[in-house]
Structure 1
Amino acid sequence: MPVDARTSAPLLGEPLAVEFMNTIWADRDGIHDALATPSEMQGWLQVGPQLPAIPDEDLRDWIATAPPREVEDTAARLRELRNAVRRLAAVQTADPRERAASATKDVDQALEVVNAAAASAPHWSHMTWRRNNAPDREVHTQAALGSTIPAVIAEQVIDLLTSDVRDGLRACLAPGCVLYFVRQHPRREWCSTACGNRARAARHYARHRTDPAT
């Protein structure tokens, strides 16, 4: 499972909305939150999927210079948004995993959080067309970057859950896993090879444990 030293979150190459869900992850030591502190949030923003409408240099500048209070507020907003998104993902996938249950219990509350985040930083497209080049699209906002980050992620969540991609969203049912993934191949069952190996080992153990001939 790909990892980066700047974040504890697994990096599976999933769409931004799904990678955001997966900032809650688990191992033998329990459940972990890759957005638990402002520094962890900043680490994930540096190595997670690119945020549409936010140039990389602007994001790097914000991480380096934003006032601590603004960073703390953004981390708190992202945790609230992430919990809401995981509640909606659980509904979409009929997720049976108690260990993966979101801290946000109510679906209406989850919808309210996502919609409020998306509306917190209105943005618009601006087209430029330089000679001998193809037209280029820039996205502008008048909101502070600390508000734009949750808004952009919320938009990606809405895009995912209102498109056909949502039909491929799956909860990984490997033992102990709490991650989600988009099933892009009919034979894919797990979020990663590691989870597939763990699930097959568990099945093998269960068969031999119940087989009276062994």
Structure 2
Amino acid sequence: MKVEDLEGGGAPALGEPLPIELANATYAVRGRLVDGLQTVEHVAAWFRDNRARFAEQCADADLLATGSEELRATRALRDAIRVLAEAAVRGGTPPRQAVEVINGQVRAAARWRELSWADGPSVRARSATTSVVAALAEIAQRAVDFFGGDRIGDLRACQAPGCVLYFVKDHPRREWCSAGCGTRARAARHYERTKAAR
């Protein structure tokens, strides 16, 4: 099998920060929750689709070798980030266990930067683990930076009916994760107004 042939789990790619993008791998279709990371293949495809966003890109061999441990770790990190996102949006305190999952994942991969001089000076991210485990650690580190930083106040839950996605509000008028959700929300409001007028 080739990396290009991996079947994804259908999670929408919204261009959000990586921790939020991973959290959004749980999404809704017609009001029903869908797990976009149901299988090892879904996890490998998610990392393939996002690999350009990592300091150390996930190698094809590592993606094809993704197994049940990476599936478990990715889903645990995703679920912990969703718990933190929900707490942040509601103004509450997340359970300690969710915070520890993220901190544990940060510690899971020893990472460093190396100087390379093949075609001139450049810096490469390196890791003592597979590139998938290093990518998980990078997502966890970015989650630490996001939830511990200034942008946490910009995190929002999508207000469209039935949507369970999160987004970072980058425009004062943005209230939905995507244009499609905005259209559905406006259509639902219009329907309610016209129904009440009858």
Give the gaps of 5 or more residues in structure 1. 96-105
- TM-score normalised per structure 2: 0.87
Q: Please show how residues 102-121 of structure 1 align to structure 2 within 5 Å.
A: 107-121=95-109
Q: Which amino acid aligns with 2:155?
A: L
Which residue is 1:79 aligned to?
A: 75
Q: Please show how residues 36-185 of structure 1 align to structure 2 within 5 Å.
A: 36-48=38-50, 50-56=52-58, 58=59, 60-64=60-64, 66=65, 71-94=67-90, 107-128=95-116, 135-185=121-171
Cα 1:46–1:160 shift into 2, 3 Å? same
Shift of 1:29: 6.0
Q: Secondary structure of 2:124's match?
A: strand
The number of equivalent residue pairs is 192
Which 10-residue stretch deviates more, 20-29 or 40-49?
40-49
Q: Secondary structure of 1:50's match?
A: helix
Instruction: Identify the match of residue 208 of structure 1 among 186, 194, 198.
Output: 194
Find the aligned partners of 1:184 and 1:130 in 2 and give their Cα distance.
39
* Residues 49-103 of structure 1 deviation map (CA, whole Å, 9 limit, x = unaligned): 53523224x2x12123x2xxx51110111101110100000011118xxxxxxxx
Shift of 1:129: 5.4
Which residue is 1:11 aligned to?
A: 13
- TM-score normalised per structure 1: 0.81
Confirm or deny: 8 A CA contact 1:15 1:49 kept in the other structure. Answer: no
Cα 1:159–1:35 shift into 2, 3 Å? same
Q: Secondary structure of 1:25's match?
A: strand
Q: Which amino acid aligns with 1:112?
A: E
Once the two structures are aligned, what percentage of the paired residues are identical? 37
Q: Which amino acid aligns with 2:151?
A: V
Q: Secondary structure of 1:124's match?
A: strand
Cα 1:172–1:198 shift into 2, 3 Å? same
Across the aligned residues of Structure 1 and Structure 2, the Cα RMSD in angstroms comes to 2.3
Cα 1:156–1:108 shift into 2, 3 Å? same
Give the gaps of 5 or more residues in structure 2. 1-6
Q: Which amino acid aligns with 2:55?
A: A
Confirm or deny: 8 A CA contact 1:173 1:190 kept in the other structure. Answer: yes
